Homo-oligomer: A and B are copies of this chain.
Amino acid sequence: MTDDYAFLVEALAPERVSVDEYARAEHAGDWGSRPEDEVDPDVVVWPTTTEEVAAVLAAANERGIPVTPYAAGTGLEGNAVPSEAGISMDLTRMDDILDIRPEDHQIDVQPGVLGSAVDETAADHGLFFPPLPSSGDISTIGGMIATDASGMQTVKYGEVADWVLELEAVLADGTVISAGSKAAKTSAGYNLKDLLVGSEGTLAVVTRATLELAGRPQQVRGGRAVFSDLADAGAAIADAVQSGVDVAKIELVGRRAVEVANAYVGTDLPDRPMVFVEFHADHGIGEEIEFCRTVFAAHDPIAFEMAGEAEMEELWQLRKDMAYALDEWDSDTRQLHPGDVTVPMSEFPDIVRFARERADAADLFMACYGHAGDGNLHYEILVDPDDEDEVERGEEVYAAVVERAIELGGTATGEHGVGLGKREFLATEHGEGSVRAMRAIKDALDPNGTLNPGKIFPDEG
């Protein structure tokens, strides 16, 4: 421990402060950070209470030492990379479920709790946490709040922000604040809650969250439609959403993505674009399924099959394992930055076609999938990192798809946040004036730039 960080041992027990090389290396990056962007923090701390978070922040802020919150490290945009070194604040030991009030459909948790733990606790009371992302069994609530994550059920239930009622958070100077309300709605002053959600730990460290839960639907049915090409699949999805089919999940998996997932999961699904659907209802689920079938029928599906209850888990495994499958596909390639564009529903077929055509024209391997019912497309370009020309072509196509999505009224990042990876697109999407306004808010709440420096804003890092 260098003298510079001796103050941390006053704020925390010594075993919760580490300058160990391995611990520091473990906190240098996240799932989506490029090796060249990763930075070892100088020290890692594991606070266990709000008071400890506040003590560390107040002391670091006074000393001009950066603090970057860290949890499961499952971010996809380098959101938790300690770009200016300093302190990595690991929140995984604040992983208690503090209270559940089933009569109010509310649960209070610490930020390090896994999403799946929330869901399991809720299940004991006939409830669930609807916006859980696909990574929910390994990612934390704090991380989901940091990026305003969403998941397969967002098409019906909304994103994480919609299910966060109240937050306790610590500002850069150590001030503990509360934001939001345990009431279902409030108009009491500025909406700090939704300002903190999605701010990627650059404005405050969340130390407690009151989440809303939903009652489990009485009826759940899943199924799968196969289309001959991506255009038909995209059009079928847009048509279903626009027609008001009440789907709880509607996911696109492109032909390449099916191929990749088949290899990983060991399945033998037809090598065609697929649309996975799930329906939730308390009654009348059969009518909703038939409605969907009718809408899909106009787009030449090769098949549309509903799964039995026993097959549901298997049905979704392929979609859930997509991220792992891509990692394992070819050891000679690596994935470029994860694609996460989201566009208005009517533009979804356009962005899918655009991405596909550009990738083909540039002779790139690209897998397409995503939360299609939200207009959210993940497009994953795999390149040989030693092939400079291929990497360059990949970068060009990657950026062209983002720019196209923004032109279509959409966003560079539907659910992963800006982190390091999407900074260059922020002003294109929102305009210089909006970025200046965001910057003014950052400077107002964190004048020393203590919290997670180098993220979100294009002029930093």
Contacts and interface: CB of A to CB of B under 8 A. Distances in A.
A410 B195 contact: no
A175 B433 CA distance: 6
Interface stretch (A17-25, A38-46, A177-185): A177-185
A101 B188 CA distance: 33
Interface stretch (A58-66, A80-88, A382-390, A441-449): A441-449
A409 B183 contact: yes
Contact of A435 (B154, B189, B414, B444): B189
A438 interface: yes
A302 interface: no
A246 interface: yes
A191 interface: yes
A352 B203 CA distance: 38
A287 interface: yes
B436 A182 contact: no
B188 A215 contact: no
Most buried by B among A195, A415, A436: A195
Interface in A196-230: 197-199, 203, 215
Contacts of A405: 183
A460 to B, nearest CB: 13
Interface stretch (A1-9, A253-261, A292-300, A340-348): A340-348
A430 to B, nearest CB: 6
Contacts of A443: 444
A68 B406 CA distance: 33
A346 B185 contact: no
Contact of A106 (B199, B344, B430, B440): B344
A456 interface: yes
A264 B255 CA distance: 65
B188 A422 contact: yes
Given A161-B191, A198-B191, A186 B431 contact: no
A30 interface: no
Interface string A135-171: 0000000000001111000110011011000000001
A413 interface: yes
A438 B192 contact: yes
B436 A175 contact: yes
Contacts of A429: 181, 188-189
B434 A178 contact: yes
A376 interface: yes
A414 B190 contact: no
Most buried by B among A159, A181, A203, A422: A181
A161 to B, nearest CB: 7
A188 B147 CA distance: 9
A283 interface: yes
Closest 9 CB pairs of A and B: A444-B444, A182-B409, A194-B194, A284-B284, A186-B411, A215-B244, A183-B342, A440-B444, A183-B410
Given A184-B374, A187-B417, A440-B444, 13 more contacts: A104-B242, A148-B191, A154-B185, A178-B431, A184-B375, A185-B376, A185-B415, A187-B413, A191-B195, A194-B195, A244-B282, A246-B282, A282-B287
